[in-house]
Structure 1
Amino acid sequence: MYLQKLSLINYKNFSSQDFEFDSKINCFVGQNGIGKTNTLDAIYYLAFGKSYFNPIASQNIKHGENFFVIDGEFIRDEKNEKIICSLKKGQKKVMKRNGKVYDKLSEHVGFIPLVIISPADRDLIIEGSETRRKFIDSVISQSNKQYLKTLINYNKVLAQRNSLLKYFALNNTFNTDTLEVYNEQLNEYGSVIFKERSEFLATFNPIFKERYSAISGGKEEIDLSYKSQLFDKDLKTLLEENLQKDRAIQYTSVGTHKDDLSFDIGGFPIKKFGSQGQQKSFLIALKLAQFDFIKVQAGHTPILLLDDIFDKLDENRVGHIIELVDKDEFGQIFISDTHPERTENVVKKTHQSYRMIQL
């Protein structure tokens, strides 16, 4: 699986730009603000139908324009695959594969396995539980379409139940039967989500710990644990027990939408007790473990995007990543950096083919 060509029209800071890529390593180099990260983001867009950095689709259109087009030509299983994503202001986003429009964007997720490592990943440590849930869901969804459907259905029912609770409060009324329908559906979908997340973490954790040990030299004990209310009781019971609270606050206070991941080092939260270097190592190990997991589950080697990675890491960590690249564990890699010479010196050590792209 690799990307041969990329064409951008009115995407972020690009009016019109065409790229051709090497099947192994591609380096976007140039000053800050010139569009290196935007190019990586466009590649991410072709895999997920959305930006990694800005979820508001219309804000990815170049200022002064009213549409964007991202056009990519991939080789997958020795076949040509043309993926186009376009958006016009005020209209629905359109995603096409070989000229055929997807009915739902979710149908495309997983077709192009991809992992990004970026300074923005620090949000996984410093932000709230929603960011970490999205990480778990993104990894599982790339190789499990049924999980993604279940997740979408759960969120729809959750929104409906929350609307009903608000309706009850506004109209000073209550109907047990209607609420019970939503409770049953949430329990059904939530149980599947809980089971899949539990099984995923059981497989993922050992891979993650191995990656962290390799990056850090095995000096620290780290842990990644799954936090869910469903470990104690099934969701139907939790919903019944918290009915009065939900009616008072007018939204659903229990369920898999409250799940979280706990990141620990030496038995303490890495957010408070981990050094910057330990946090960086933790995040890179997390993303490399994601790469390993998807590679096995999807049966294809994911494309790897390394955003501004040399600026954010010390030489030892960069050296470790480059060693991995040289072992041929990876497929196609895209790197962004401000220093062309530094980047070229590093990628030369891999003995892999590469292309330098000056922006």
Structure 2
Amino acid sequence: MILKSLSLLNYKNFDSKTFEFNDTINCLVGNNGVGKTNVLDAIYHLSFGKSYFNPIASQNIKHDEDFFVVNGEYNKENKSEKIVVSLKRGQKKVIKRNAKAYEKFSEHIGFLPLVIISPADRDLITEGSVTRRKFIDSVISQSDKFYLEHLIKYNKALAQRNSLLKYFALNNTFNQDTLDIYNAQLHTFGTEVFNKRNSFLETFIPIFKSRYQAISNGNEIVDLVYKSDLFDNELESLLKKVINKDKAVQYTSVGVHKDDLLFNIDEHPIKKFGSQGQQKSFLIALKLAQFDFIKQQSGVNPILLLDDIFDKLDEERVTQIIKLVDDENFGQLFISDTHAERTENAVKQVHQSYEIFKL
């Protein structure tokens, strides 16, 4: 799968810009603030229907403008595919494939597999469990439509149960029968989500460990540990056990929305005990394992975005990653960097064609 061209209209700092891309390696170079990362984010937008860096959709519209349009032309399985993402202030975002709008954005997820490696990934280590759950969900959703459906239905039932608990508290009332309806829905969809996450991690963790060893040349032992309430008991039973607590706090205190993924090095949290280099290697191994898993499941080479990668890694390690394009048929690669010469030196070491875009 190849992104042939990209057109931006009123997207972030761009008023109007078009790129024709190389099938293999594309380097976006220029000073900080010129929009290199914004180009990568536009490519991400085409795959996921949202920004990787800014969850507030309207803030991706250029200042003093009313709308943005991101337009991508792809070659996938020898077919031309045109994807357009557009947003007008005060209106709903629209995603179109070959001029036909999607009714549900979830139908588009996984159609254009993509992996991004960015300094923002550090949030996976430093932030709370919601960031790590989103990572798991993003990887599974790109190759499993049913997973995304179950997750959406679970979150809807969760919101309804939480509203009901607030209603009970506000009106000093309680109705077990109504609560049982949402408990049953959470149990059904939550169990599906838990089983899929557990099964995914059984496959994913060995891939991740192998990637870490290859990148770090380290002797330390790294691991990912899945934490979930559902290892202890079925969700329906857990919900009944905690009902008094849930009534008091007015939200649902157990379930797969509380799951976490622990990042360990030598059996200790990498956040506290990993050096900066080990943390960087850990995150890159995580993302390359994501690439491997999606490729394995979909049979398609995901597009790989490397955002400001030299800022976080030494040149030798970056060259090692770029060489993977040669060794493993990585598909199409996009790199952003502040130094044109440094980028060119790295990409020259692989025997592939490349294009350098100076912004």
Q: Distance in 2 between matches of 1:317 and 1:220?
A: 18
Q: Tell me how far apart the structure 2 counterparts of residues 55 and 25 of structure 1 sit (CA, whole Å).
A: 28
Task: Output aligned runs, 1:200-349, within 5 Å.
Answer: 200-349=200-349
- Contact 2:67-2:89 at 8 Å conserved across structures: yes
Q: Letter of the aligned partner of 2:102 in structure 1? A: Y
Matched, 1:40 2:40: yes
TM-score norm. by structure 2 comes to 0.99
State how far apart, in whole Å, the 1-side matches of 2:294 and 2:201 are.
Answer: 13
Q: Which position in structure 1 is the counterpart of 2:178?
A: 178
Whether the 8 Å contact between 2:319 and 2:347 is mirrored in structure 1 is: no
Residue type of the alignment partner of 2:120: A
SS at match of 2:334: strand
2:84 — aligned with what? 84
For residues 68-79 of structure 1, the aligned pairs below 5 Å read: 68-79=68-79
| 2:4/2:74 contact within 8 Å kept | yes
- Secondary structure of the structure 1 residue equivalent to 2:322: helix
- Measured in 1, the distance between the counterparts of 2:102 and 2:260 equals 32
Using the alignment, how far apart are the partners of 2:216 and 2:313 within structure 1? 12
CA contact (8 A) 2:140 2:147 kept: yes
> Structure 1 length as normaliser, TM-score?
0.99
The C-alpha deviation readout for 1:22-45, integer Å capped at 9, x for no partner, is: 000000000000000000000000
Note the aligned Cα RMSD (angstroms): 0.6
CA distance in 2, matches of 1:305, 1:170: 48
Cα offset, 1:219, TM superposition: 1.6
One-letter amino acid of the structure 1 residue matched with residue 317 of structure 2 = R
- Tell me how far 1:7 sits from its aligned partner: 0.2
SS at match of 1:327: helix
1:315 deviation in Å? 2.5
1:77-156 aligned within 5 A: 77-156=77-156
Query: CA separation of 1:354/1:98 partners in 2, compared to 1, >3 Å: closer, same or farther?
Result: same
Structure 2 residue aligned with 1:64: 64
**Over 3 Å off, 4+ runs:** none
The answer as to whether partners of 2:8 and 2:71 remain within 8 angstroms in 1 is: yes
- Residue type at the aligned position of 1:44: Y
Letter in 2 for 1:340: A
Partner-residue secondary structure (3-state), 2:28: strand
Cα distance in 2 between the residues matched to 1:14 and 1:179: 50
Contact persistence 2:73–2:82 (CA under 8 A): yes
Q: Which runs of 5+ in 2 are unaligned?
A: none
The corresponding residue for 1:20 is 20
SS of equivalent to 2:210? helix
Identical-residue share of aligned pairs (%): 71
Aligned to 1:196: 196
Shift of 1:328: 3.7
- How many pairs are equivalent? 359
Deviations 1:132-186 (A, max 9, x none): 0000000000000000000000000000000000000000110000000000000
Instruction: Name the CA distance, whole Å, in 1 between partners of 2:99 and 2:223.
Output: 45
Equivalent residue letter for 2:263: F
Q: CA deviation at 1:322?
A: 2.1
Query: How much has 1:323 moved relative to structure 2?
Result: 2.2
Deviation at 1:256?
A: 0.1
Is the 2:14–2:62 contact (alpha carbons within 8 Å) kept by the matching residues of 1? yes
Q: Which amino acid aligns with 1:355?
A: E
Residue 201 of structure 1, CA deviation = 0.3
CA distance, structure 2, for counterparts of residue 103 and residue 27 of structure 1: 35
Deviation at 1:117, TM superposition (A): 0.1
Letter of the structure 2 residue corresponding to residue 154 of structure 1: Y
Match of 1:352 in 2: 352
